[in-house]
Structure formats: C-alpha cells, structure tokens
Structure 1
Amino acid sequence: MPVTQLESTIRTRLLESHRETLQSVIDAGHSVATAWPTDDVQESGAVTEPLERLLREQGLTADLLGMLQTGTAAINDTVQGRPIPAPPYLVITSRGPLCRGTLSDGRRLVVVLELFAVRRSPTRYRFRDPTPEELLSVSIR
C-alpha cells in the first residue's frame, strides 16, 4: 500500500476512534490561549509549559500515546518498543503535541496535533482554534 494511502487510513481511524481525545486537546489549547494577555505570545514556553501541564492533569498523555497503537492497528502493523509519555514518543512542541513511534519496518509514524500557528520575524504563537480534522496530521517517514 502506498505511504499516502497508509497515512489516510491511519488518519481516518484516528478521527473515528479518538475524536473525543482530539476535542479535549483542542479545549486544552483554547484554555492555554485564553490565559494569554493578548491574542498571541512571543515565547514558546507560554505554549508548551501550560499545555503540557494541562494534558497531564487531564490524563490525556496516555490517550495521545494510544493513538499510535490505534494508527498502527489500522494498517495491520505495530509500534516497536514500548512508548512512554516522554521524548521521543510524546513531546509537546510550540505547535502542539507530537507522537512518534517506530513501525515494524523501521519507518516512523508521526502524529501531529497542530493547535498553534507560528509566525516568524518576530516569532509569535497564535491559537488556531482547529476542528479535529484541521488539528490532525499523520505522516510515515
């Protein structure tokens, strides 16, 4: 199966099976952004630190990592090793959560939940207010 078809299959399954988790992540991103004094911020820590704290407090890290198993099951594959909620398997970036796992053939499944847009010169972070469909990006590398 071509990579783009695998990515599409995984994305469809994640939207079907993890819609509640995706919406909870969007809600957490919204909570982070509403705490800012303006519509955007300059420091990535104003995104990553409160978002990571909220995701952990709400127990969403296990659900985010569970998306790797759901995604690989959709293509009859598995994640090699045992993902744990720490880099390199789950990291909270200035754009949002990123989950990564190694497939049985050595390629990487990368699931990105893009909550925040980044503008350069000067650097600014703004909440995108995405739908689950707009939030979710899946790639195999």
Structure 2
Amino acid sequence: MNDPARVRARLLAVHSEALEATIDCAEAVASSGTEPATDREAVAMPLRAALDHAGVLETYPAVLASAVDTLGQSLSAPPVAAPPYVTITGTGPILRASLPTGRLVIRLAVFALERDPKRYVRTGDVPEEILVVELR
C-alpha cells in the first residue's frame, strides 16, 4: 500500500515530539543571525549542529522506520542518522528509504529558499506545516 497521507498521519501522531524539536532547532538557527542566510551551508551546517546537540538527529532513523512500517514494508538494513537515510539540507532534514515499490522521501521543511532576493527564511510553526511525505 502506497499511501503518503496515511504515513503522514502516523508520523504526526507518533513522532510529533521529534517534529516539534526540529522546529525548535530551526527557530534557534534562524534567530541566531542578524541577516537572513543566503548560502545553503549557512543554514544546513548550524541546523545539523543544533539537531545533533538537541538529540533530535538520532531520532530520525526511528521516524523513517515507522514510516516504512506504516507502508507494510521493510528496509534492507537498519537506517542511520546519516546519508543515504538522513540528510540535512538548506530547507531542513530529508529522510529517505529505497523500498521494493519505490522511494519514500520525508521532508521536514523548516526553511524555504526565496529567490528574489535569494535568502533562506523560516517556515512552519507546527508539525503539520513542515511535514511532507512523498512516494516516488
């Protein structure tokens, strides 16, 4: 069964604490600078450090495993809080899993890239606003 809405509902119900902590870390990163960041690394590196320091980064493999379980599938190996399973980008954490039926991608979109002028801005104040689940 490939139902991103069901996965999303499960993650919001079971992993809201990790999602809320992700938002808190993003807010701390955003409020630490006086100017909006214009470079991906100026967002991704401090966000990774904040997530790691808060213990949130280590929760992402369980979030990913829960999503895969909701689909009734399994991973070929236990996920870890590092690529290819977990990546921290300029817009936030991305959790990925290759499955027999395709690829599961979970984005925690706590930042958005505006183009004119180019800058990263905070988005989403609640888990429902940051969580994006895709099956490709």
Please classify the TM superposition score into its range, dividing by the shorter chain length: over 0.9
Residues 1:136 and 2:131 are matched in the alignment: yes
Q: Structure 1: which 5+ residue stretches go unaligned?
A: none
What is the CA distance between 1:106 and its match in structure 2? 4.7
Residue 71 of structure 2 corresponds to 75
Moved more, 10-19 or 52-61: 52-61
Deviation of 1:135 (Å): 0.5
1:109 is aligned to 2:108: no
User: In structure 2, how many angstroms separate the alpha carbons of the residues matched to 1:102 and 1:82?
Assistant: 12
For 1:80 and 1:7, how far apart are their aligned partners in 2?
Answer: 20
Q: Would the aligned equivalents of 1:30 and 1:129 in 2 still touch at CA under 8 Å? A: no
Aligned length: 136
Could you tell me the percent identity over the aligned residues? 34
Aligned counterpart in structure 2 of residue 20 of structure 1, from 17, 21, 32: 17
User: Runs of 5+ in structure 2 lacking a partner?
Assistant: none
Q: Is the Cα–Cα contact under 8 Å of residues 96 and 112 in structure 1 kept in the other structure?
A: yes
Deviation at 1:122, TM superposition (A): 3.6
Question: Take 1:77 and 1:97, find their aligned partners in 2: how far apart are those partners?
Answer: 22
Equivalent of 1:10 in 7, 11, 31:
7
Greater Cα offset, 48-57 or 119-128: 119-128
* Partner Cα distance (1:46, 1:134) in 2: 23
Partners of 1:47 and 1:94 within 8 A in 2: yes
Given that residues 29 and 127 in structure 1 are in contact (C-alpha distance below 8 angstroms), is that contact kept between their aligned partners in structure 2?
A: yes
2:113–2:119 contact (8 Å) kept in structure 1 = yes
Q: TM-score, normalised by structure 1?
A: 0.90
CA–CA distance in structure 2, aligned partners of residues 88 and 121 of structure 1: 31
CA RMSD of aligned residues (A): 1.3
Q: Distance in 1 between matches of 2:123 and 2:72?
A: 33
- Residue 28 of structure 2: aligned partner: 31
CA distances 1:45-85 after superposition (whole Å, capped 9, x unpaired):
22111100011111212211211111111121112222222
Whether contact under 8 Å (1:11, 1:136) holds in the other structure is yes
- The match for 1:125 among 117, 120, 125 is 120
